[in-house]
Structure formats: C-alpha cells, structure tokens
Amino acid sequence: MEYNWDWGVLFREPYFGWIIDGIGWTVTVSIAAWIIAFTIGSVVGVARTVPVRWVRSAATVYVELFRNIPLLVQLFLWYFVLPEVLPREWGLWMKREMPLPEVTTAIIGLGFYTASRVAEQVRSGIEAIPRGQSMAGYATGLTTVQLYRHILVPVAYRLIVPPLTSEFLTIFKNSSLALTIGVLETTARSRQITEFTFQGFEAFTAATVIYIVITLTVTAFMTVVDERAKIPGFITGGR
Amino acid sequence: MIELRNVDKWFDDFHVLKNCSTNIAQGEVVVVCGPSGSGKSTLIKCVNGLEPFQKGEITVDGVSVGGKSTKLPKLRSRIGMVFQNFELYPHMTVTDNICLAQEKVLGRGRQESEEKAMTLLTRVGLSDQAAKHPGQLSGGQQQRVAIARALALDPIAMLFDEPTSALDPEMINEVLEVMVELAEEGMTMMVVTHEMGFARKVANRVVFMDYGEIVEDAETEEFFGSPRSDRAQQFLSKILHHI
Ligand SMILES: Nc1ncnc2c1ncn2[C@@H]1O[C@H](COP(=O)(O)OP(=O)(O)OP(=O)(O)O)[C@@H](O)[C@H]1O
Ligand SMILES: [Mg+2]
C-alpha cells in the first residue's frame, strides 16, 4: 500500500486553524471542568468525613453515582436524556437557548464525573491524618469547622498533590470524549482532517504530540505546586 | 477542681471505665498509672470531653463536662492537654502552632499571640526554634512546643497522656523538667505516666488503674511505701525493677 506522507497538510488552511481551534476547546473544556471538579470534589470529599451521618451519606451517594457510571454514558445522559426529563420549558431552554450547548454539557459532565474522583482523593487525604491531630485541635477548643479549616484540609491537600495531579492529567485525556456530543476539540479535529485529506497518520500524530505537550506542561506546573506544598521535615505516612 | 463521680464508659459492649471516681484539687498533681489497656488514656480524655462517657459525672471548675448546655470548645480551651505523639500541626511553624487557638478560640490579636508564644518558647528553652516546622525538631523539642501550645491558653489545669513515652531516653528529662517546674508553680495536673521518678518527686497522689477500674488512689508516699492492692504491688515491682 502506498501512503503519501504530507506533513505540510497540518500547516495549511483551513486545517491549521482547525488544529488550533481544537487545542483551544481541549484546554477550555478541561480547565473549566477541572474548576468544577475541584470545587465540588472538595466539598463532597470533606463531607464524606464529617461527623454528621446524613451529610456523609449524601456525599457517598454522589461519589458512587458519578464514579460508577461510565463517563461516556454520563455525557449522553446530560446531553440527550436530561433535556427530555426536565420540565418542558427547561428542556427547551437547554436545547435552544443555552449558550454553546455541546461545550457546556461536556464541561458539566466531565466536571461532575471528575469531582467524584477528586472527592475520593480528598477523603483519603483527610483520613490519612492521624486521629490524634483532631484530638489535639479539639483539645485546644477549636470547633469542628475550625479544625477542618485550619488543620485537616490544609494538611490533606498537601498530602494529595500527586494523586490530584494525575486526576488533572486525566481530565485532559477524558476531554476527548466530548467529541461524541459534537465538541470540536483536538481529537475531533484530527478525525475531521483525516476525513477531508486522508492524511490520518499526520493528523493523529499531531493530536498525540499536542496531548503530550499539554501533559508535560501540566506535570511541570504540578511539580512546582508540589514543591511549594511540601511540609518542611514532614515525612508522609510515617509517625 | 476536677471531680469524677462514678464514671462508666463503654466502647460498644466493652466496659472500658468502671465506676471511676477521684478528685483533683486546685494545685494538686495526680499521676495515673497502670498496665497497658487499663483505660488511662480513655479516663483522661473523658475529663475534657474528647471521649464521651455514659454514666456518672465529671466536673471541671464546677462545669459539668457531659452537661447538655456545656460549651465543650470553651471548656476545653481552659484545660491544656499534651499527647504522647505531640500532635503538633505539621504544616505550621512553631509560632503558628502556638498562636492558632489563641487567635481562633480566645480571639486574641496576632501580636499579643506572638508575644505570648515567644514568652512561652523562651520558658521551655526554644526561643531560637520559633520559625521552624515541627518536622524539623527533635521529639523532646516538639513535646516542649506542645506544652507551650497548651499553656498559651492560660489553662486552669493540664492533662498529660504519657508525654514522654514516645521519646528517646536522652530527651525524657528535658520534658520532665518543664513539667516539674509547672508543678512547682502550682499548676493543677493530671499526668498519665510510667515515670515513677517524676511521680515520687512532684505527685501529691497516685491513681492506679487496672481493667478500667481505679484500684488504688493514694498519697504518693503511701502508694510507693505500702500499696494496698496486690495488683498495684505487682505493677510497681515490675516497672521499678525494670528501671
Ligand atoms: N476508640 C476505641 N474503640 C474501642 N476500644 C477502644 C478504643 N480506644 C481504646 N479502646 C480500648 O479500651 C481499652 C483502654 O484503652 P486506653 O487507651 O484507655 O488504655 P491505656 O491505659 O491508655 O493503655 P496504654 O498504656 O497502652 O496507652 C483498651 O483495651 C483499648 O483497646
Ligand atoms: Mg494510653
């Protein structure tokens, strides 16, 4: 089989513009979803550890629900099913008036799903803190809220920077699933270029390189965060 | 100052404290000892409400610890507590460790808290360590910071749960010295420890526990001279011969 290599295709219009657009949506969807995931994940993760039973149960339901349904299914549910089951006006609004419906849905779907994973990391971080720390906090008269605010949460986040990094990386890779509901992000654009030019090798090599560059950038950024978060003289796990 | 009356506590169906009663008067130092698992830590944690109990009553300075209307955070801030594993907050500097509850619980200003921290650090011999993190200190230094953290709230009594058990032998004395000084200044203290030298030197009374019961509650002289119960005698001969 003859294959005509043509790397130049990547730099010709409109394909070059498509790739840049694709990168833009990959980054936008991922970062926006991460903000949602981090916020909701933090609240839910903390809620899973608090000494109030119904709060814990509610948080557990959230985690089990969003963690156990495949992300792809969740995206379809948000995009195709939710507008049908909501009250009529809301459903119509989602379909007709919601700005950038595909992108918005992808951000929410990916954000809520990743939140369940962030929540598990936050919970495990808090649970890794020896019980004596809470005892010490309470013994000085701190309330539960103060204990979380000043001790448990700050220590837990320092402990979980490495697993959070990998969740953050995963969100960029998972953002490619947004193509299934029509978001024209990096992978979707590569597919499109392939269909228009039959230069699939070039198009998907480009996508691969783009994901690697994004991943390495995020890793470098998180290494700096990890350095900053390090507790002087503190050995994780032991004591 | 601290009164325990017929306190019973269960962990599920495990009866961990059985009808425990004792009184600690203002300025008194009481050492609590007994075999591992006898309930010493549980007893001392009941005093500031870190562990709930099911029967009996504990009052501190007239305030009922288990009382429905008792504000536990407020009560706890008046009772200092020192733990076996120090339990300093690892992400904060020594100064911040000592300032946190002063600011958040007592509502003191930053400057006043820092001054207080410095005074106490000087007192426990650690004024040069103020900017370090706990992980950068030795065990003995960490425990002295923990004592300073508790004293910063101007407590009316201090609870110690085996404060020297996690320390290397050469660091035990630097912590005991601080405690002896406190005792001599008239601090009301309840101290779980196996340091019988410390008990002999400063304790007014010794409480001996076994299987969740207070088996012996005697003046220090009497406890070491002629313990009434066999169990206390056996315990004493074991740990004294060990030394
Ligand atoms: N949270 C808990 N749940 C169930 N059982 C517990 C709990 N905490 C302690 N116990 C049990 O209660 C008993 C008394 O424990 P406690 O820690 O008070 O003993 P201790 O006298 O302080 O012992 P040590 O000298 O080893 O510190 C032990 O048998 C222990 O296993
Ligand atoms: Mg104990």
Question: How many angstroms does the Cα of residue B199 sit away from the middle of ligand 2?
Answer: 17
Short-list B153, B80, B76, B158, CA closest to B116: B153
Q: Tokens representing A199?
A: 């230069």
Q: Using CA atoms in the order A86, A90, A95, A101, what is the torsion angle rounded to 10 degrees?
A: -100
Strand intervals (E) in chain B = 2-11, 14-24, 29-33, 55-60, 63-64, 79-82, 157-161, 188-192, 205-210, 213-219
Q: Coil, helix or strand for B135?
A: helix
Mutation for testing the B interface, residue in A133, A134, A140 having most B CBs under 10 Å: A140
The percent of residues in chain B predicted with pLDDT above 70, rounded, is 99
Residues B114-162 have pLDDT tens digits of 999 999 999 999 999 999 999 999 999 999 999 999 999 999 999 999 9
Pairing of strands B29-33, B205-210: parallel
Contact A135 B45 (CB under 8 A): yes
pLDDT band at B234 (very low <50, low <70, confident <90, very high): confident
Of A41, A66, A33, A36, nearest in space to A183 by CA: A33
In this prediction the pTM is: 0.90
Could you tell me if the CB of B38 is within 6 A of ligand 1? yes
pLDDT at A1: 67
Beta-carbon pairs below 8 A across chains A and B: 86
- For domain A13-229, the CATH class is mainly alpha
Of A142, A158, A234, the CB nearest to B101: A142
Q: Which chain A residues are within 8 Å of B105, Cβ to Cβ?
A: 140-142, 146
Cβ neighbours for B175, distance < 8 A, ≥ 6 positions apart: B140, B143, B144, B147, B163, B164, B167
Residues of A in contact with B73 (CB under 8 A): 138, 141-143
Across the range A114-142, mean pLDDT stands at 96
DSSP string, A118-154: HHHHHHHHHHTS-HHHHHHHHHTT--HHHHIIIIIHH
Taking only residues 173 to 212 of chain B, the set having a beta carbon closer than 8 angstroms to any beta carbon of chain A reads none
> What number of other Cβ atoms are within 10 A of residue B202's Cβ?
19
CA of B5 to the centre of ligand 1 (A): 20
ipTM for the whole complex: 0.94
Whether the pLDDT of residue B188 is over 80: the answer is yes
Give the model confidence (pLDDT) of A68-82 as tens digits. Answer: 999 999 999 999 989
How far apart are the CA of B130 and the centre of ligand 2, in A?
29
